[in-house]
Amino acid sequence: MRILNVVGARPNFVKIAPLMREMRRRRGIEPILVHTGQHYDANMSDDFFKDLEIPVPDYNLGVGSGSHATQTARIMLAFEEVCAKERPDLVLVVGDVNSTLASALVAKKLGIRVAHVEAGLRSFDRTMPEEINRLLTDAIADYLFVTEESGLKNLRREGVGKEKVFFVGNVMIDTLVQNLGKIRDSRFAEELGLREREFVVVTLHRPTNVDSEERLRGILRALGNVRRTVIWPVHPRTRANMERFDLLSAPKKNGNLRLIEPLGYMQFLSLVARAAAVVTDSGGIQEETTYLKVPCLTLRENTERPVTMTLGTNVLVGTDPRRIAPALAAALKAKRRPRIPPLWDGHAAERIVSILLREARR
């Protein structure tokens, strides 16, 4: 069973690692890894492959940046050539980035079956490009692997046949469980002069937060008023906007706020595991903080991962920077007893590969 596994961005790398490991362990599967090159910054791509022991991609399409239309079109053109050459039995896509939808569309047009890992998640906000990618990928996928119960409800409401849908757990948590020992043994926080539970980690990259000068300035001001050290590994998109808006000098005026370069998987998660709290607009970090039981403030008006709020540590703050300080104070004082969601046990990849082999035999 020849499977083309497609990745393109940081969250994809974290999800594909356990799947590639499990596929290579099983008989009857020939896994082929395709990296679209959607994330081309070394710290956002190469370091993750090294940290997570992901094999060197069989194909690197090198599409780079561009508008959504340009990037999607480039991926489709290049990926079609790979499909024509390899003639796979299945194309497996993960997450909700442009690479996910573009590869799924190409495969389906060529009559190749599609598996979508992390299906059914919905923010119900169609201004988010990721939401469009999720909706369209799920609409054409043959196998939909769901991480949480909200995904089952969403797909049922959208009329997806239950024979296509499988509740398997979360492969991102598989990677976290696999590397938990290394994360806990890391001394990276100490190397930065940070004391456990006495600092806050920040990661922001969504346009709603970083493309507006007023909002980004407000976020920097709010974080500067936090009475703890704030460590911020700055996404390339965010740093470019800080430079454009002349905001890189702001942290110098606020001694508690430290901007650093993007981090690899192990370094970043070692900080998250020791943080007092995390401030983010990322979907995956909502899940990782839930498993690690670290308070998480999400600077968005919605989340496609509601289980991180109902069972986990996540709190929606909204996009008004003035809410950050009071929300953080409340989160640090709260005496919540978070729980790990069902099937977030480190074995999701095993379930997915077993289902694919079973379906292939059928």
Tally Cβ neighbours within 10 Å of residue 198.
Answer: 12
* Nearest of 93, 99, 149 to residue 121 by alpha carbon: 149
35, 39, 205, 235: the catalytic one is: 205
Tally Cβ neighbours within 10 Å of residue 211.
Answer: 14
Structure tokens at 148: 């949480």
Spell out a b/e string for 284-315, using b for 16 or more CB atoms within 10 Å of the CB, else e.
bbbbbbbbbebbbbbbbeebbbbbbbebbbbb
Eight-state DSSP code of residue 321:
G
Residue located via tokens 């991180």: 308
39 as an active site residue: the answer is no
In the three-class reduction of DSSP (H, G, I as helix; E, B as strand; rest coil), residue 196 is classed as: coil
Sign of the C-alpha dihedral, residues 293, 299, 305, 309?
A: positive
- What length does the chain have? 362
Structure tokens at 93: 């896509």
The catalytic site residues sit at 205
